[in-house]
Amino acid sequence: MQPIEITEQRSLPARFYEILEQEILLSQDMLAILQEEQKALVSMDMQELLRLSGKKENRLSRIQALDSMLADLTGEFQPEATEKTARLSALIPLLNPEEGAKLGQYRKKLAGLREEILNRNQVNKHFAADVGKYLSDAITLITSGIADRPMYGLTGLNRKPSLNQPSLISREV
């Protein structure tokens, strides 16, 4: 006969779910900021991009703070965990079935939002890199004709002036 392992079914404090809700709200806000950023990139609105960059930094720091709080609460709930990040999937088996399902839904929603944030951020990053490359290519095309012909140099001193070229000093003198 196999030994039956009895595990104590626990429940998470309400503060844990409040933090998860705040993370979801901040993640949704970050998605909205990334959409605004994409519009600003398309319209090349530098002032808006600077404003959105500050907002993104603020949201990111708040999300990181909430992640840290979740990791602390998870450490209190599961002391044997040595990781500094909260592993929600590791908590689900320790909870009663209703709370495990609730936590699973939060985990799934948060993971989906994080994946969406990552995808939109990558799209914006690639768009900005492409625009920078196109601008660089355009500047190179415009200035390449000028760069091929030096304006000043010692080569002008060695050449004999042609009668057909204009000259600043009259040759008749």
Q: Mind listing the domains of the chain with CATH numbers?
A: 14-120 (1.20.58)
What are the backbone angles phi and psi of residue 35, rounded to the nearest 5°? -65, -45
The DSSP output letter for 94 is G
Which amino acid would we find at residue 68?
S
Strand partners, 10: 95
Question: pTM above 0.85?
Answer: no
Is the model's pLDDT at 137 over the cut of 90?
no
Summarised one tens digit per residue, pLDDT across range 44-96 is 888 998 899 999 999 999 999 998 888 888 777 766 655 555 677 777 777 77
Lowest mean pLDDT segment, chosen from 10-19, 33-42, 69-78, 156-165 = 156-165
Closest by Cα among 98, 102, 15, 77 to 90: 77
- Mean pLDDT for the chain? 78
Lowest mean pLDDT segment, chosen from 64-78, 103-117, 136-150 = 136-150
Per-residue model confidence (pLDDT) at position 90: 72
Per-residue model confidence (pLDDT) at position 120: 93
